[in-house]
Amino acid sequence: MKIRHSFNRVWWRRFIFLTFLIGVTTASPATGIASKPPVIVVNSGYRLLIDSEKGTIVAFRSTLGPSSELLIPGHADLPMFKIEFLDDHSQFKTVTSLDAKHVTVSRSRNEDGLSIEIEYNDIAQLPLDVQVRIRCPFQEPLTYWNLVLNNRTTFWVGHIQFPVIEVPFDSRREKHNSHILWSFADGALAGPVESSLAGRLDYDSPETWRANNYPGQWASTQLMAYYDDSGGLYIACDDPKGLPKFLNPLMAMDGVVMGLGHYPATRGPSNTKLPYNVVLGTFLGDWYVAAEIYRNWAAQQPFCATKLTQRKDYPNWLNDSPVGISFPMRGQADWDPPAAVNPEYTPLTNALPYLNKLASALASPLMPIIFNWEYGGPWVQPESFPPVGGEAPFREFMVAAKGQGWHPVLYGDGLRWITWQKNTDYDGMPYFKAHGGESAIARNWDGSLMENIWEWRKNYAVCVGTDRGRQMILDMTRGMAQLGPDVVQQFDQGPGPMVCYATDHGHPPVPGPWMTEAFNQLIRSDTDVAKSINPGVALSCEGAPPETYLQDFQVWDAREQTCPLFSFLYHEYLNGFEGFYTNRLNDEALRASVARALVTGYMMNLTLRDKGLVHYDWDQPWTKAIPDQAGILDWSKTANHFRVGPARDYLVYGRMLRPWTVSGVSQRDFGWGKEPSVMTATWRAPDGREGVVLANYADLRESPRVELEGRGNKELILYNGAGKEQRRVELPTVVDLEMEPRSVGLIELR
């Protein structure tokens, strides 16, 4: 397990990018004003300008609030699209709309609105034409962009970037404070938009685009947004099928490219039409407003057919909010050699007395999460069996744990075939060779095996288009299920397919829809295998599951940060637990992570160190100070009882709403930016009641003022610590609370 950070500082990439960009700049014609006026579409939400000679985007302006240009100056000089082909000699060749010999731009009108059609002919002196159509309905602030490629070469399409969109850095002089939202893990939000974002975002380089990140390689939705107080740019795709895409902001010299990559995997001669639209629009407000637009679309899609309350595959025990307790059988973290066996947890039955103590302190059912159980070393698959400490005590533990009403969890390692692990100095190459490993592995475009070399382990990436690769995953799941857990998390490190450029795997030699088809099949076979052994088993994954797999998982191992995008969109379909790497630096930050999890709707989880003691977080060595045990256990118990008590209809079954304003609370900064010491969120229960949940994790009393929105006379029920009061209120109004240290509250309106 290890979250693959998109916050990648690869300096050589930047160097290559700079070289590339300088080359392009000097080769381009000098910027000038087009002699023909641009084609303009204006409605109440936006003003869109298309260059009538180049067929490029001149400007896109939000007119919902104070008029605000959303794109960089000189945007007309950027191409409308870039297409990378793989030619007959397996060489990449890139063309752009600026290479077209002829460009024709026209505008037409129909009942619903306007359309702009752009034809690009004889691109780069090749038999290539592209038609772009932008549909602009009168009544909405959204526009729908589609593209048809007429490819009369024999080249494969590697990927298409469309449309090319770049937003500017903030102007310091004008004190802009813009933000960018994207769908990394549970949700990512960055701002102000300036060159320092290079710490979190990759540079735009040709290689970046050769691998999808959606679905499931850490991007779980198709939404991005860019906004400030005066207006915002909404960016999404309306694909209900989870086809591979690249959807991520990327650094450029003068702004941020809102990267949109498509992978049709077609070969010429052929016509390729994008099977969904890119949706660009404007909005006024913060990221929640953009997410609401997206949620309105998503709720109509097949993957949102069944809410949690109607799901038949959903184990009831998950609704009782078991607390996850993770502990390693060997070593202390992912990376700490030599990985000595921990006698507290090995054989596994030794863990039972510690877990009993915790269950009683938390007065909650548990989800014991067993880490570092694999024969070869932590996260080593497929040479994972028999488990550390032997199979018999492992099974004995599972029976005893279930007898206590607990629900043990085992993790596999996603699409990884591990060949070396630092903790045990495991050498997996003999096993790899003896078990036909090579035929399971994805290929880079140069034909080499796709290898990931980390500081603490080496692995190859499995191609989901190969029988051997799929079989390895299914065998791994079967082996885990046979050990008797109630939750199997095979899809660690994101549930989604990875690219493969092999020419002999029976799939196209470029990324494309075949990946989603193969992964859909794999995920369903994987479920069948697990359920054939334990019909009640729950399937989990690391990071938010791609939206198209909402109904395929029963729980998920979140990567809680400060932007709850995924929960806002999809909590009422699937609950997750807060997960690991949650910035738990000290006792207060540890309690903050529980408060954040609570108000976001997550279940809670804690990690143990030696002697059954709660540690700050997973993957931290045991040399740190020991947290205040009574403090964190008591706070977790308070939060968890509240989650399944007064707040159950909101935090288990509810839908998150745009937050109502809460003020008058002190702020803390543990390294993730300023956060209030009273975490809050606004929710709607399935029956329509609305409520604000509050969690004061601080050691001080806090006096939050909550602004209640809406209209009319309502009954207000206030839970504050152990107290409960009820009264009638006329909305809108404000409520002032006095919250005790380490207390929770709910303001409910009915």
Identify the three-state secondary structure at position 244.
coil
The token pair that represents 242 in the structure block: 């989870």
Q: What is the dihedral of CA 215, 220, 226, 230, to 10 degrees?
A: 140
Distance CA 55, CA 709 (A): 45
At closest approach, how far in Å is the CB of 380 from Zn ion? 23
Instruction: Give the one residue of 210, 295, 505, 643 binding Zn ion; rule: CB under 5 A.
Output: 505
At closest approach, how far in Å is the CB of 156 from Zn ion? 14
Closest to 131 measured CA to CA, from 121, 119, 143? 119
At closest approach, how far in Å is the CB of 276 from Zn ion? 24
Contact stretch for Zn ion (CB under 5 A) within 314-322, 455-463, 626-634, 737-745: 455-463
Distance CA 136, CA 216 (A): 31
| CA quadruple 572, 577, 583, 587: dihedral sign | positive
Contact stretch for Zn ion (CB under 5 A) within 404-412, 502-510, 538-546, 664-672: 502-510
Of 500 and 594, nearer to Zn ion (C-beta) is 500
Contact stretch for Zn ion (CB under 5 A) within 484-492, 493-501, 590-598, 651-659: 493-501
Of 376 and 465, nearer to Zn ion (C-beta) is 465
At closest approach, how far in Å is the CB of 368 from Zn ion? 37
Identify the three-state secondary structure at position 77.
helix
Strand boundaries in 163-285, DSSP class E? 166-168, 179-182, 188-190, 223-228, 231-237, 245-251, 255-262, 270-273, 278-283
At closest approach, how far in Å is the CB of 526 from Zn ion? 18
Distance CA 458, CA 440 (A): 16
Core vs surface per residue 94-126: b (16+ CB within 10 A) or e = ebbbbbbeebebebeeeeebbbbbbbbeebeeb
At closest approach, how far in Å is the CB of 244 from Zn ion? 13
At closest approach, how far in Å is the CB of 461 from Zn ion? 10
At closest approach, how far in Å is the CB of 465 from Zn ion? 4
Q: Is residue 464 close enough to count as binding Zn ion by CB under 5 A?
A: no
At closest approach, how far in Å is the CB of 472 from Zn ion? 13
Of 118 and 518, nearer to Zn ion (C-beta) is 518
Contact stretch for Zn ion (CB under 5 A) within 48-56, 151-159, 269-277, 498-506: 498-506
Q: Are 419 and 452 in contact (CB under 8 A)?
A: no
Q: What is the dihedral of CA 639, 641, 647, 652, to 10 degrees?
A: 90
Of 167 and 462, nearer to Zn ion (C-beta) is 462
Q: Are 38 and 107 in contact (CB under 8 A)?
A: no
Distance CA 659, CA 563 (A): 12
Distance linking the first and last C-alpha atoms of the chain: 43
Of 271 and 503, nearer to Zn ion (C-beta) is 503
Instruction: Give the one residue of 462, 500, 589, 614 binding Zn ion; rule: CB under 5 A.
Output: 500
Of 201 and 502, nearer to Zn ion (C-beta) is 502
Of 488 and 500, nearer to Zn ion (C-beta) is 500
At closest approach, how far in Å is the CB of 466 from Zn ion? 6
Identify the three-state secondary structure at position 679.
strand
The token pair that represents 218 in the structure block: 């850490």
At closest approach, how far in Å is the CB of 254 from Zn ion? 38
Pairing of strands 409-411, 487-491: parallel
At closest approach, how far in Å is the CB of 510 from Zn ion? 10
Contact stretch for Zn ion (CB under 5 A) within 456-464, 488-496, 542-550, 648-656: 456-464
The token pair that represents 724 in the structure block: 């409960």
Of 217 and 489, nearer to Zn ion (C-beta) is 217
Q: What is the dihedral of CA 436, 437, 442, 448, to 10 degrees?
A: -90
Distance CA 680, CA 333 (A): 32
Q: Is residue 472 close enough to count as binding Zn ion by CB under 5 A?
A: no
- Give the CB-side neighbour count of residue 371, counting CA atoms within 13 A: 22
At closest approach, how far in Å is the CB of 261 from Zn ion? 19
Total binding residues for Zn ion by CB under 5 A? 5
Kindly identify the residues of this chain, within the stretch 631-660, that bind Zn ion according to CB under 5 A.
Answer: none
At closest approach, how far in Å is the CB of 499 from Zn ion? 9
Of 339 and 500, nearer to Zn ion (C-beta) is 500
Kindly identify the residues of this chain, within the stretch 680-699, that bind Zn ion according to CB under 5 A.
Answer: none
Of 360 and 503, nearer to Zn ion (C-beta) is 503
Of 505 and 714, nearer to Zn ion (C-beta) is 505
Distance CA 124, CA 457 (A): 44
Of 505 and 643, nearer to Zn ion (C-beta) is 505
At closest approach, how far in Å is the CB of 415 from Zn ion? 11
Contact stretch for Zn ion (CB under 5 A) within 366-374, 461-469, 612-620, 644-652: 461-469
The token pair that represents 410 in the structure block: 């085992």
Site string for Zn ion, 257-276 (x = CB under 5 A): --------------------
Kindly identify the residues of this chain, within the stretch 5-34, that bind Zn ion according to CB under 5 A.
Answer: none
Instruction: Give the one residue of 368, 377, 428, 465 binding Zn ion; rule: CB under 5 A.
Output: 465
Give the Å distances, CA to CA, from 617 to 264, 329, 457, 575, 582. Answer: 41, 16, 21, 21, 7
What residue has token string 């001080």? Answer: 700
Of 438 and 715, nearer to Zn ion (C-beta) is 438
Q: Is residue 502 close enough to count as binding Zn ion by CB under 5 A?
A: yes
Q: How many CB atoms lie within 10 A of CB 23?
A: 10
Of 503 and 666, nearer to Zn ion (C-beta) is 503
| 545: preceding bond cis by omega (within 30 degrees) | no
Q: Are 458 and 419 in contact (CB under 8 A)?
A: yes
Closest to 473 measured CA to CA, from 498, 508, 448, 447? 498
Contact stretch for Zn ion (CB under 5 A) within 48-56, 370-378, 505-513, 583-591: 505-513
At closest approach, how far in Å is the CB of 506 from Zn ion? 8
Contact stretch for Zn ion (CB under 5 A) within 105-113, 325-333, 384-392, 458-466: 458-466
Instruction: Give the one residue of 167, 398, 463, 599 binding Zn ion; rule: CB under 5 A.
Output: 463
Residues contributing to the site for Zn ion (CB under 5 A): 463, 465, 500, 502, 505
